[in-house]
Chains A and B, each alone.
Chain A
């Protein structure tokens, strides 16, 4: 019997390792994904005034901090019964899209692309973004430009490019100026083009590695995503589960999430294993993120992305169950985020000064959900009469995927060690 430990897991944020136990013939008998970090946000937001929590929880993740900021402020609004002005809603969505563009560009070009652009057999020491800059400088420059564009939007709307601050109960703290809007618009069409080019690169890489994509890490799971009127929506209002064969869907509202989501503690990981409660554990394990989002929606909300989604369905099926198809799904979302950003920038209401309603703190229970770049994100707080947090529950994006990542690694190990 042998043991293989893969540590640290790289090109991710957070901390994990993989332990693979092998039998005498070298076949894996047990494969575990250990998530090795726990920080305790669910405990230490307790006792804090709820309006401060959107300024604390972004530190859960420095990449998708905006998603945490927004899910958090949505949860406080819900707990206190605040109705926010439409313009504030649009500003929050715009801030969110900026974060989505930065993060999806980061994830694809900086983290995933090195394996494809330089090839999976390239020396690990060069298989990174710096290797990409050397091998394909034009691709790298576009990646940098897209990230900058996204971060510029978050800074303009959220006050800071990392850990934004302008979401407050009742709306937004800062008006978006026409000057800033016009400045950002000058780059908009170029970004939509880059989005299309990224997708083209991915499609050509897919052809090259199609055998790998169709065999490695292919697993059947449920999918969970966010929609609005059935359409793909990063900032949507309805959660949707889809069964592994695509035949069954379940729609529910954020406030109903405890009826649909359960979490199961396992001994070998700080992360709990979420599952579809209507199905049970472990049959109800599901995936979130771009693949799930593309799987569960009826259509994309923007035209170029919808075309790309149809092609995706032709290549991978609906639902697609290939883990490596995440990359193409992510690029469809990146294009869609750019298209939607343009719509919002061209909306005259985006520079409105009517961005905040008066609110009163009160005892309540609120759930806030957005689609973080790696998957659906839940924040849920209970507050006391003074609006101080007394209880918190958070199910963060990657958490949903951990059990099925483990499954995909188990499947991959059985292929690699056969």
Chain B
């Protein structure tokens, strides 16, 4: 794919963090932008109709019928579709909504204590919610995935450069632990702590200290940013290629700690924080 790439960008059920991460190339933007012809990007440009494009990056999954409709339209008009960021690939944080009935998602905001006319549910001129949050990859065929919440600027740039050179973008294959500078002794914790408890040692593995880090089940690429900031990984890059399911592979490690692992609060929300809609367990949760 030589010359200028006609690029489309859109945010559906996401937060625009992936778009912002692209801008976080900062000065490098001035090198990347000349190679791109951004023909559609509601967040930065005033174009109303989706044109034919070479590469379309979709940020976010589908929360409502309109999102789903746009995904189909984008697929028809694009040569290459990239599921851009963890919401697009696995459902992301908004996918936690799949733990609840759609009716609850649709009505709870209209019963809060500040609502003066509780029970009025908006329905005019707005798209209907789907029954669940669906990743892009559940709705249409995505040619590539680019996970991360958000994907780091360098990953965005590498994907663009690969496509410009007619190559397939490549993703990191390892886990967050491989990038984490903390020392490991290969022991399992005797009890688990919540993140506000105590003060973690700065040098050693957070999981081994009993903090609920999920780096062992999570694709690398972030540079272990959270553990480096003294906070356990929450799995935002999703699973690696080697496993079927992020939470199952993480739970497998936790099981080695025995009974204390059972005491961890909200295991489903911890182990599936960013990938519930794509998880094996989600089919069961919805029953």
Which A positions have Cβ atoms within 8 angstroms of B? Answer: 7-15, 17, 19, 32, 34-40, 42-44, 47-49, 51-52, 55-56, 58-63, 65, 106, 110-111, 124-125, 127-130, 133, 141, 144-145, 147-148, 151, 158-163, 165-166, 168-170, 173-174, 257-258, 261-270, 272, 274, 281, 356, 359, 361, 386-388, 393, 395
Contacts and interface: CB of A to CB of B under 8 A. Distances in A.
A9 B47 CA distance: 9
B105 A38 contact: yes
B1 interface: no
Given A51-B195, A168-B196, A7 B48 contact: yes
Contacts of A268: 122, 124-126
A166 B228 CA distance: 10
Given A13-B15, A51-B194, A166-B230, A269 B265 contact: no
Interface string B24-60: 1011011001000010011111111000000000000
Given A36-B66, A270-B126, A168 B195 contact: yes
Given A40-B105, A265-B121, 10 more contacts: A36-B66, A43-B109, A44-B96, A56-B93, A60-B15, A141-B27, A162-B20, A162-B24, A166-B231, A361-B194
Nearest to B50: A8
Contact of B114 (A35, A40, A144, A262): A262
Interface of B: 11, 13-21, 23-24, 26-27, 29-30, 33, 38, 41-48, 63-64, 66, 92-94, 96-97, 99-100, 104-106, 108-110, 112-118, 120-127, 129, 149-150, 194-196, 199, 225-226, 228-231, 234, 236, 265-266, 269-270, 273
Nearest to A43: B108
6 contacts: A10-B47, A13-B15, A36-B126, A39-B94, A65-B17, A272-B110
The 10 closest A-B CB pairs, nearest first, are: A62-B17, A159-B229, A40-B105, A62-B15, A124-B46, A128-B45, A59-B93, A62-B16, A265-B120, A43-B108
A185 B66 CA distance: 46
A374 to B, nearest CB: 13
Contacts of A48: 96, 266, 269
B16 A8 contact: no
A163 B149 contact: yes
B230 A267 contact: no
A65 B15 CA distance: 9
Given A10-B46, A162-B21, A169-B196, A43 B100 contact: yes
Contact of A144 (B27, B92, B113): B27
A56 B97 CA distance: 12
A417 to B, nearest CB: 19
Contacts of A12: 42-43
A267 B45 contact: no
B126 A40 contact: no
A39 B63 contact: yes
Contacts of A111: 44
A406 B202 CA distance: 51
A71 B261 CA distance: 31
Contacts of A47: 99, 266, 269
Contacts of B27: 141, 144-145, 148
Given A10-B47, A11-B45, A160-B229, A144 B196 contact: no
Nearest to A102: B20
Given A47-B266, A128-B44, A269-B122, A161 B24 contact: yes
Contacts of B21: 62, 162
Nearest to B229: A159
Nearest to B199: A356
Contacts of A169: 196
Nearest to B116: A262
Contacts of A158: 229
B129 to A, nearest CB: 7
Contacts of B269: 47-48, 52
A387 B16 CA distance: 30
Contact of B149 (A44, A59, A174): A59
Contacts of A257: 114
A59 B17 contact: yes
A390 to B, nearest CB: 12
